[in-house]
């Protein structure tokens, strides 16, 4: 049974900088230590973008020193807070598709995992490029990977949710060509689950009949009011990562709030 650990929205910053008083380096370091201690047997750690907060070289370099400490192998893609060129300069060995996008297909005995690059840039024109987008080349790559998956069910990993999640401000910045995306996905009919980040909340449900999971960040989280247009709101809630385990009948998806997790429960 394939086991995958899923991180998203790392928002690494230069040394000495914090986000609402939180240290992204320390929080991610604790998460990596937790994974290495309790999930060293994972088949992959998948990271779904917003790797840095400002896409500067120093933050990518700090991030690399942490990710290099992972015991399980790493797969990684990017989000709207990233720069594709700077990221690839610091992570030159990361898989790319034939067009230079940070996309990868990974086959396991019981599933195919596809990492999608939803960064709507260049140009890096904010706020436009905070939304997600899959161009015709990326959609064609997705279609080929779905077509050639054979009997393997497919898991999709992408930074931007391809549908609304109920948060007014964040939904403006979701994958803006979701209809094109779902045309491809529904035509092939072999996507078992969609994983995303971007919203900094634990969210689950289904869209167009396909189950999805959105995970929290290791750093700051999105507050719960649905109707605010302000996407800069952040709160300090426990850091988390996701765990996905394939089974004989489908997939199990868990969230591990690793900062407050207790492994040995007391007996009353």
What integer pLDDT is reported at residue 265 of this predicted model? 67
Count up the domains in the chain and report the number. 1
* Cβ pair 255, 240 in contact under 8 A: yes
Overall average pLDDT of the 10-32 stretch: 97
The pLDDT tens digits of the residues spanning 184-196 come to 999 999 999 999 9
Q: Please state, in angstroms and rounded to a whole number, the distance separating the CA atoms of residues 135 and 178.
A: 11
Are 221 and 27 within 8 A, CB to CB? no
Q: In this structure, are residues 170 and 222 in contact, taking their beta carbons and an 8 Å threshold? A: yes
Look at residues 86, 72, 74 and name the one whose alpha carbon lies nearest to residue 12: 86
Give the residue numbers spanning the domain of 135: 3-256
Q: Which residues pair with 196 in a beta bridge?
A: 214
Give the whole-number percent of the chain exceeding pLDDT 90: 88
Tell me, what's the pLDDT at 225? 79
Q: Confidence class of residue 262 from pLDDT cuts 50, 70 and 90? A: confident
Taking the C-alpha atoms of residue 228 and residue 167, their distance in angstroms, rounded to an integer, is 7
Q: Flag whether 264 is in a domain.
A: no
Summarize the confidence of residues 131-156 as an average pLDDT. 98
Nearest to residue 188, comparing CAs of 161, 149, 157?
A: 149
Which residue is listed with tokens 């992972």?
Answer: 70
Check residue 11 and give its pLDDT: 97
Question: Mean of the pLDDT values across residues 9-17?
Answer: 97
Coil/strand/helix, residue 86:
helix
Coil, strand, or helix at residue 207? strand
- Report the distance separating Cα 161 and Cα 197, nearest Å: 7
Render pLDDT for 206-247 as a digit per residue (tens, 0 to 9): 999 999 999 999 999 988 878 888 888 889 999 999 999 999
* 3-class DSSP state of 147: helix
Cβ proximity of 145 and 186 under 8 Å: no
266, part of any domain: no
Q: 24-38 and 57-67 helices cross at what angle (nearest 10)?
A: 20
The answer to whether residue 261 is domain-embedded is: no
Count of beta carbons in the 10 Å neighbourhood of residue 127: 10
Computed over every residue of the chain, the mean pLDDT equals 95
Whether 266 has a pLDDT exceeding 70, the answer reads no
Q: Please give the share of the chain, as a percent, with pLDDT higher than 70.
A: 99
Report how far residue 51's alpha carbon sits from residue 82's, in angstroms, rounded to the nearest whole number: 6
Domain assignment of residue 123, yes or no: yes
- The model's confidence at residue 268, banded by pLDDT at 50, 70 and 90, is low
Residue 193 pairs with which residues in a beta bridge? 155
The pair of structure tokens assigned to 42 is: 């994972």
pLDDT category at 71 given cuts 50, 70, 90 is: very high
Does any domain span residue 265? Answer: no
Question: pLDDT tens for residues 49-60?
Answer: 999 999 999 999
User: Is residue 146 a part of any domain in this protein?
Assistant: yes
> Can you give the CATH number for the domain in which 247 is found?
3.60.21.10
Q: How far apart are CA 216 and CA 21, in angstroms?
A: 18
Domain-located, residue 263: no
128: in domain: yes
Instruction: Say what the pLDDT of residue 168 is.
Output: 92
Task: Over range 65-92, report the average pLDDT.
Answer: 98
Peptide bond into 26 cis (omega under 30): no
Q: Of 196, 110, 89, 188, whose CA–CA distance to 153 is shortest?
A: 110
């Amino acid at each position: 049974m394939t086991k995958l650990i899923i991180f998203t929205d790392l928002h690494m910053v230069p040394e000495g900088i914090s986000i609402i008083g939180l240290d992204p380096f320390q929080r991610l370091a604790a998460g990596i230590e937790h994974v290495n201690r309790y999930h060293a047997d994972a088949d992959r750690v998948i990271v779904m973008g917003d790797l840095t907060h400002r896409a500067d070289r120093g933050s990518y370099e700090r991030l690399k020193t942490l990710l290099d400490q992972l015991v399980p192998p790493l797969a990684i893609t990017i989000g709207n807070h990233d720069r594709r060129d700077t990221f690839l300069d610091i992570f030159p060995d990361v898989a790319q598709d034939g067009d230079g996008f940070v996309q990868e297909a990974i086959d396991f005995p019981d599933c195919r995992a596809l990492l999608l690059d939803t960064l709507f840039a260049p140009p890096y024109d904010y706020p436009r490029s905070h939304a997600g987008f899959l161009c015709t080349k990326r959609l064609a790559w997705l279609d080929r990977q779905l077509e050639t998956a054979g009997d393997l069910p497919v898991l999709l990993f992408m930074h931007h949710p391809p549908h609304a999640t109920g948060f007014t401000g964040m939904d403006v910045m979701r994958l803006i060509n979701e209809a094109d995306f779902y045309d491809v996905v529904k035509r092939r009919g072999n996507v078992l689950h969609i994983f995303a980040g971007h919203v900094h909340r634990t969210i689950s449900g289904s869209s167009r009949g396909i189950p999805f999971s959105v995970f929290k960040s290791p750093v700051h989280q999105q507050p719960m009011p649905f109707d605010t247009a302000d996407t800069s709101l952040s709160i300090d809630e426990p850091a988390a990562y996701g765990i996905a385990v394939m089974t004989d009948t489908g997939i199990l998806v868990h969230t591990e709030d690793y900062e407050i997790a207790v492994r040995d429960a007391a007996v009353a």
